[in-house]
Amino acid sequence: MNILVTGATGRVGSRLVPRLLDQGYSVSVLVRNPEHTRDLQRLGAEIMIGDLLQPQTLQEAAAHKDAIVHLAAAFRGVAPEVSHAVNMDGTIALADAALAEGVPRFIYASTNLVYGPGTDERYFNEEDLPVPISPYPIAKAAAERELLNLYRSRGLGLCILRLAFVYGDGDPHLEEGVLKFRQWHPAQRIHLVHQADVAQAVMLGIESPRAKGQIFNVADDQPVSAAEILSMYNETMPDDAVSRTVDPSWLQLVDTAKIREQLEFRPNYPSLYRALNEGAL
């Protein structure tokens, strides 16, 4: 099976591509600059030059592919208009290329941040209406809507994966998050997902007939508190932290019943503690 991956040199992509290759997929990666792809080339990935903001470069990359896994995104430190251009316009340009080339499956990596502010008592499910409040999830939610329109109107082989906070396999994301978690109430929780389980969800999205046209939350089984995360890095919360209020803008706890029931997703790392005990951070 021939797979095209965007965002392959990013934190998720650079860990996903080796797993896809290990499972026997033929993998091409779409990049603007091939300089950072040497490790992927050594593993057997084919390098294709293209740019989401240059639609004329995308159709050749999509040709003869059985699936596209779209991970590329503009996230940190970009202006809202750049976020919209890359995360929405670029995504739809890639989907148009997939349709033009008859690509059977289009896996879109979205985020649980699209749900917007939440509560500690209720987990979001895929039927909940997204109410994003910042540029990145606003653009991702807009792309979701347009992709679903393409699924309904033109038969795009869509599967949307709403990823929780991704960590593991040496990804510094969680450790970087400590700077933010220090500012939280100690009991405030966040939902995580390990890189290995992102890869599992992607492969299920590629392979399962039941994934087409569906949205799935992707997360581990057990959200974790700020105090628990800090303790893993041998840090303690400030004494006054218990007087802080819980920030609902970071409460996107999600229900994963749908992906478990429909795609038989079972996390390799159901909790952060499992990953810690197995040296998989």
Residue 239 banded pLDDT, cuts 50, 70, 90: confident
Q: For residue 194, what pLDDT is reported?
A: 98
Please report, rounded to a whole number, the percentage of residues in the chain having pLDDT higher than 70: 100
Confidence class for position 97, pLDDT limits 50, 70, 90: very high
CB atoms within 10 A of CB 106: 29
DSSP letters spanning 155-186: ---EEEEEE-EEEBTTBTHHHHHHHHHTTS-T
Give me Rg for the CA atoms of the chain.
18
- Which pLDDT score, from 0 to 100, does residue 80 have? 83
Catalytic residue status for 136? yes
The predicted pLDDT at position 254 comes to 98
Residue 279: pLDDT band with limits 50, 70, 90:
very high
> How much is the average pLDDT of 253-265?
98
| CATH number given to 2-171+192-220+253-268 | 3.40.50.720
Can you give the pLDDT at residue 237?
A: 87
Lowest mean pLDDT among 75-79, 163-167, 219-223, 232-236: 75-79
The pLDDT of residue 22? 97
Residue 77 confidence (pLDDT) above 80:
no
pLDDT band (50, 70, 90) for residue 79: confident
Among residues 136, 151, 167, 269, the one annotated as catalytic is 136
pLDDT at 76 over 80: no
With a CB cutoff of 8 Å and minimum separation 6, the contacts of 168 are: 174, 194, 195, 196, 269, 275, 280, 281
Task: Supply the pTM of this predicted model.
Answer: 0.96
Which residue did the predictor score with more confidence, 8 or 121? 8
What is the model's pLDDT at position 34? 82
Give the per-residue pLDDT at 120.
87
Q: Where are the domains of the chain?
A: 2-171+192-220+253-268
Q: pLDDT, tens digit, for every residue of 98-131?
A: 999 999 999 999 999 999 999 988 999 999 999 9
Task: Dump pLDDT digits (tens) for 158-213.
Answer: 999 999 999 999 999 999 999 999 999 999 999 999 999 999 999 999 999 999 99
Quote the mean pLDDT of the chain: 95
